[in-house]
């Protein structure tokens, strides 16, 4: 199992700390985690920090943390820098860490603060067992010194599939734990009363709800807390219905392994990979659903190499965008009649369900002029950003296309694209290279940065094929 710990950190309002060894993360969370973990698993600790944090942002501090891996080789660390996030917007911070860990293929996730002390051994295995017994839907984990609710929780990938994020960002910090308690109670709420962790960080290091005067006096505090909890309850009750909708949905084929039947369009023995090529961008997904398309398949593999099929290795950057662009660039003069670009998992999100919605066969074609994709037109505004990427949508568009951004074109949701050779060559090879250079620039950037650039390509690549 690959398990993620999601930990935003800050040295704010802790002026006595001189270096990383004084921090809660070093003295409490990591020390006690190492003593209580179940070592048969692999762990990645995702540590989020403000770009200007005087301790966590330094290379020296991060090197001290990374040195832990020498003694605990099953634990690695990934540092995620927060840019332009409002102080104390913890839900956004946790969402960024969760999305990164989800994209990295982690199986389970533990959300906590940097000031947690784990008191009992075996809590990881008991959390996994509890999740598996309940179809991986819900929250579990050790109880803590807040006897009313769980404030740090263990959960699975299905949380993302249900909600699309860890927390709703309308909640800034306080009451975010109320939200998941209300959402999952009573049927999907599994506190492990035999395990205990304590919150030992003292007073908050952020303004409650972003308001310095939130608890300026007793009456104000009572009024504001009551209103915040009421709003959280209303929001949670709205989201609660998403769980039942997920449970009763048509099963998503990313969890069903039998191979898809070969399309009638490809059954003629004279149809070869020169006529139709399926390009699969794999991380660690089971791609056995493509086995009947093996003679047409090219796999770009960003994950484990312990597989029984041929593949082209790629570094894990750029989501599907870099795979699409690399393949087009490397094969520009020898493209198949049609190239179908797909993720390793056929159903990636609820808005991209191709097979159940009867769209699969539309992508299987040998028409050299074909251009098939999930069409959307809800482009971001010129000044909108994705995550905390420093450039706006308009900035990126102008950089790539060297003209003003007018959001009046279609984009390919999920980058599921089946494109004929003639259609792909309407865009010059040099422009594909320009897009790839954008995705991969600054080779030591974080996965979140690469993924965000991939989102821009998702919005622009069809437009490039039509107008570059």
Q: What is the pLDDT of residues 261-302, one digit of tens each?
A: 899 999 998 999 999 999 999 887 788 889 999 999 999 998
Listed in sequence order, the residues at least 6 apart from 297 whose beta carbon sits closer than 8 Å to its beta carbon are: 277, 278, 280, 290, 309
| Structure confidence at residue 193 (pLDDT) | 93
Question: pLDDT at position 254, please?
Answer: 47
Least confident of 60-74, 135-149, 353-367, 448-462: 353-367
Share of the chain above pLDDT 90, in %: 62
- Average pLDDT score, the chain: 88
User: Tokens 């949380």 belong to which residue?
Assistant: 159
Predicted pLDDT of residue 272: 96
352 pLDDT above the threshold of 60:
no
Residues 6+ apart with CB under 8 A from 85: 50, 92, 93, 388
CA 304 – CA 230 distance, rounded (Å): 46
Residue 216 clears pLDDT 60, i.e. is over it: no
The CA distance from 354 to 346, in Å, is 8
* Closest C-alpha to 436, from 301, 326, 300: 326
What is the per-residue pLDDT for 205? 57
Contacts of 101 by beta carbon, 8 Å cutoff, 6+ apart: 4, 6, 44, 46, 109
Tell me: pLDDT of 165 over 60: yes
Q: Report the DSSP beta bridge partners of residue 192.
A: 142
Res. 250 pLDDT band, cuts 50 70 90? very low
Span 40-68, pLDDT tens digits: 999 999 999 999 999 999 999 999 999 99
Q: Where does the pLDDT of residue 251 fall: very low under 50, low under 70, confident under 90, or very high at 90 and above?
A: very low
pLDDT of residue 175: 81
- Overall average pLDDT of the 375-403 stretch: 91
Q: Residue 407, class by beta-carbon neighbours within 10 Å (0-12 exposed, 13-18 middle, 19+ buried)?
A: middle
Residue 342 has pLDDT above 80, yes or no: yes
Q: List, in order, residues 6 or more apart from 28 with CB less than 8 Å away.
A: 114, 115, 116, 117, 200, 201
Q: Confidence class of residue 253 from pLDDT cuts 50, 70 and 90?
A: very low
Higher pLDDT, 352 or 108: 108
- Quote the pLDDT of residue 148: 73
Q: What is the mean pLDDT of residues 19-34?
A: 95
Residue 206 pLDDT: 59
Reported confidence tier of residue 227, pLDDT bands at 50, 70, 90: confident
pLDDT at res. 217? 61
Contact by Cβ (8 Å): 448, 387: yes
Using the predicted structure, report yes or no on whether residue 33 has a pLDDT greater than 80: yes
pLDDT, mean of residues 399-425: 94
- What pLDDT score was predicted for residue 121? 97
pLDDT above 90 (res 238)? no
Is the pLDDT at 87 greater than 70? The verdict is yes
Query: How high is the pLDDT of residue 223?
Result: 64
Contacts of 434 (CB under 8 A, 6+ apart): 400
Does position 208 have pLDDT exceeding 70, yes or no?
Answer: no
* Interval 132-144 mean pLDDT: 94
Is the predicted pLDDT of residue 211 greater than 70, yes or no? no
Average pLDDT over residues 100-122: 94
What number is the average pLDDT over the span 25-45?
A: 96
SS3 readout for 274-334 = CCEEEEEEECCCCCHHHHHHHHHEEEEECCCCCCCCCCEECCCCCCCHHHHHHHHHHCCCC
> Tokens 């999601």, residue?
6
* Higher local confidence (pLDDT), 232 or 394: 394
Show the CA angle centred on residue 11, arms to residues 201 and 83, nearest 5°.
125
Cα–Cα distances in angstroms (integers) from residue 454 to residues 227, 373, 399, 415, in the given order: 39, 16, 15, 9
Tokens describing residue 99: 């999305």
Nearest in space to 4 (alpha carbons), one of 168, 128, 162: 128
What is the rounded distance in angstroms from the CA atom of residue 75 to the CA atom of residue 7?
A: 14
* Confidence class for position 364, pLDDT limits 50, 70, 90: very high
Mean per-residue pLDDT, 221-240: 81
pLDDT the model gives residue 118 = 97
pLDDT at 271: 95
What is the C-alpha to C-alpha distance for residues 273 and 294, in angstroms, rounded to an integer?
A: 10
């Amino acid at each position: 199992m690959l398990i993620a710990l999601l930990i935003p950190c800050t040295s704010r309002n802790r002026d006595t700390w001189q270096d990383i060894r004084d921090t809660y993360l070093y003295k409490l969370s990591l020390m006690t985690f190492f003593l209580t973990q179940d070592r048969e698993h692999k762990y990645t600790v995702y540590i989020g920090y403000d770009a200007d944090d005087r301790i966590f942002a330094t290379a020296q501090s991060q090197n001290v943390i990374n040195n832990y891996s020498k003694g605990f080789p099953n634990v690695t660390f990934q540092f995620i820098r927060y840019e332009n996030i409002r102080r104390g917007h913890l839900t956004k911070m946790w969402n960024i860490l969760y999305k990164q860990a989800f994209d990295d293929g982690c199986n389970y996730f533990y959300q906590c603060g940097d000031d947690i002390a784990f008191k009992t051994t075996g809590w990881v295995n008991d959390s996994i067992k509890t999740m598996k017994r309940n179809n991986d839907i819900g929250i579990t984990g050790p109880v803590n010194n807040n006897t009313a609710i769980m404030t740090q929780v263990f959960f699975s990938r299905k949380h993302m599939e249900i909600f699309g994020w860890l927390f709703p960002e309308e909640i800034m910090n306080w009451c975010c734990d109320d939200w998941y308690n209300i959402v999952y109670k009573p049927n999907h709420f599994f506190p492990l009363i035999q395990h205990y962790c304590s919150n030992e960080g003292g007073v908050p290091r952020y303004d409650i709800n972003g308001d310095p005067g939130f608890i300026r006096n007793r009456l104000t505090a009572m009024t504001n807390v009551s209103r915040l909890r009421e709003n959280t309850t209303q929001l949670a009750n709205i989201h609660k219905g998403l769980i039942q909708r997920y449970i009763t949905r048509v099963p998503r084929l990313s969890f069903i392994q039998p191979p898809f039947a070969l399309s009638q369009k490809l059954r003629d023995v004279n149809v070869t990979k020169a006529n139709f090529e399926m390009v699969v961008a794999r991380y660690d997904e089971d791609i056995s659903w493509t086995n009947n398309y093996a003679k047409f398949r090219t796999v770009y593999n960003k994950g484990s190499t312990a597989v029984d099929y041929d593949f082209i290795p790629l570094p894990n950057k750029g989501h599907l965008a870099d795979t699409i662009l690399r393949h087009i660039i490397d094969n520009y003069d020898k493209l198949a009649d049609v190239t179908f670009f797909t993720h390793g998992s056929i159903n990636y999100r609820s808005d991209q369900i191709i097979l159940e919605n009867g769209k699969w066969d539309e992508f299987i074609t040998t028409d050299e002029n074909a251009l098939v994709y999930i069409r959307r037109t809800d482009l971001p505004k010129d000044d909108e950003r994705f995550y905390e990427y420093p450039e706006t949508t308009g900035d990126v568009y102008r950089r790539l296309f060297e003209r003003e951004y007018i959001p009046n074109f279609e984009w390919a949701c999920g980058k599921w694209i089946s494109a004929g050779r003639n259609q792909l060559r309407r865009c010059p090879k040099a422009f594909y290279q320009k897009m790839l250079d954008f995705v991969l620039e600054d080779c030591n950037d974080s996965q979140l940065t690469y993924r965000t650039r991939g989102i821009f390509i998702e919005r622009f690549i069809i437009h490039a094929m039509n107008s570059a």
